[in-house]
């Protein structure tokens, strides 16, 4: 974003805001009532038995939490931007871990199941997503060119396709392909069916992204190329796409990330990918949270990898132009 060179006072450093914030936070902590949690235990020397501490105990706990919260904010506000971002990230992560930890997880159970989740689940998830991403990208390039062409057939087919596949829920497409095609005499396995549905659905979204990207290149680029005697394919390949790709990358990265997680829908067809294993591995031992949280962390890690790759590519293209 474009940062102004004039710095305004931080809201946090204005007394009115600070007091308002404190009161609000206090009210929230009071309403949520943390007396019977770890925090109540910590204050036992002050409030006595937390369960019997009543209104005073509840207020004291809320007050202490509020002071910690606001002091934390104030402390962060005095650091540099990069440090602020790091601290807030770490704190949020710790809160999330505390949330996960509060489920009384059995780590040994997770440890015993993780090899299968990774070797089978993660592998299948990546496998399905990667193939779908490649096919969807090819569809998107063809679809976008068709949509921009003067050919009536190409335009009609392409716009019908994007309309249909953006218009149906992905889960429904998945069932239509998996259950519908066999009735017409085409047997499809679950994994190919999932790949087909994901490719077609995301191909439709990405067609629109690619079309918009190509259209955002000024008409003058086409004219200058034509004036030099370039043919259509050459213009597209050498002049238009290289300029459109940096524009296309951020929204396409988003699509890849979304697709990675939508591959979990394949679990309803019984494909042994991450989501399927997360739901089934913990079932017999009633250890659902263990497996669900493990899958969550794996999906998240995968997404972060994609985000980093996307940032790298964006940076590379920024340097070039």
Q: Residue 320 interacts with other proteins (CB under 8 A)?
A: yes
- Report how far apart, in Å, the C-alpha atoms of 316 and of each of 165, 245, 307, 320 are: 33, 12, 14, 6
205 contacts 166 by C-beta, under 8 angstroms: yes
Q: Residue 234 interacts with other proteins (CB under 8 A)?
A: yes
- Report how far apart, in Å, the C-alpha atoms of 266 and of each of 119, 161, 167, 282 are: 17, 22, 19, 19
Using CB under 8 A as the criterion, what x/- string covers residues 169-198 for binding other proteins? ------------------------------
Using CB under 8 A as the criterion, what x/- string covers residues 243-282 for binding other proteins? x---------------------------------------
Determine the Cα–Cα distance for residues 114 and 112; give it in Å rounded to an integer.
6
DSSP letter at 34 equals -
For residues 107 and 227, which CB has a smaller minimum distance to other proteins in the complex?
Answer: 227
CA quadruple 140, 146, 147, 149: dihedral sign: positive
DSSP letter at 263 equals G
Using CB under 8 A as the criterion, what x/- string covers residues 25-54 for binding other proteins? ------------------------------
- Minimum separation from the CB atom of position 149 to other proteins (A): 17
Q: Residue 215 interacts with other proteins (CB under 8 A)?
A: no
Q: Among residues 41, 91, 189, 223, which is the contact residue for other proteins, using CB under 8 A?
A: 223
CA quadruple 287, 290, 291, 296: dihedral sign: positive
Residue ranges in contact with other proteins by CB under 8 A:
218, 220-221, 223-231, 234, 238-239, 242-243, 320-321
């Amino acid at each position: 974003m474009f940062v102004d060179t004039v710095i305004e006072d931080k809201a946090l450093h204005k007394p009115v805001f600070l007091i308002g914030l404190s009161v609000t936070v206090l009210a929230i902590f009071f309403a949520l009532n943390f007396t019977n949690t770890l925090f109540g235990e910590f204050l036992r020397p002050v409030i006595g038995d937390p369960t019997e501490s009543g209104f005073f105990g509840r207020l004291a706990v809320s007050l202490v939490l509020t002071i910690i919260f606001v002091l934390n904010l104030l402390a962060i506000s005095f650091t540099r931007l990069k440090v602020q971002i790091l601290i807030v990230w770490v704190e949020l992560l710790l809160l999330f871990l505390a949330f996960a930890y509060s489920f009384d997880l059995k780590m040994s159970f997770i440890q015993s199941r993780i090899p299968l989740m990774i070797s089978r689940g993660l592998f299948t998830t990546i496998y399905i997503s990667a193939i779908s991403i490649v096919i969807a990208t090819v569809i998107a390039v063809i679809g976008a060119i068709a949509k921009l062409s003067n050919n009536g057939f190409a335009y009609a087919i392409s716009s019908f396709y994007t309309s249909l596949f953006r218009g149906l829920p992905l889960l429904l497409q998945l069932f239509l392909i998996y259950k519908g095609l066999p009735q017409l005499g085409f047997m499809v396995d679950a994994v190919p069916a999932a790949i087909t549905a994901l490719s077609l659905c995301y191909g439709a979204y990405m067609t629109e992204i690619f079309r918009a990207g190509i259209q955002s290149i000024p008409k003058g680029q086409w004219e200058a190329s034509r004036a030099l005697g370039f043919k259509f394919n050459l213009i597209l390949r050498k002049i238009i796409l290289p300029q459109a790709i940096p524009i296309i990358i951020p929204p396409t990265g988003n699509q890849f990330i979304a697709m990675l997680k939508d591959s979990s829908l394949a679990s309803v067809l019984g494909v042994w990918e991450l989501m399927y294993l997360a739901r089934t591995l913990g079932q017999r031992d009633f250890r659902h949270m263990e497996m669900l949280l493990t899958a969550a962390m794996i999906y998240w890690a995968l997404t972060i990898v994609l985000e980093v790759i996307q940032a790298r590519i964006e940076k590379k293209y920024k340097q070039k132009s």
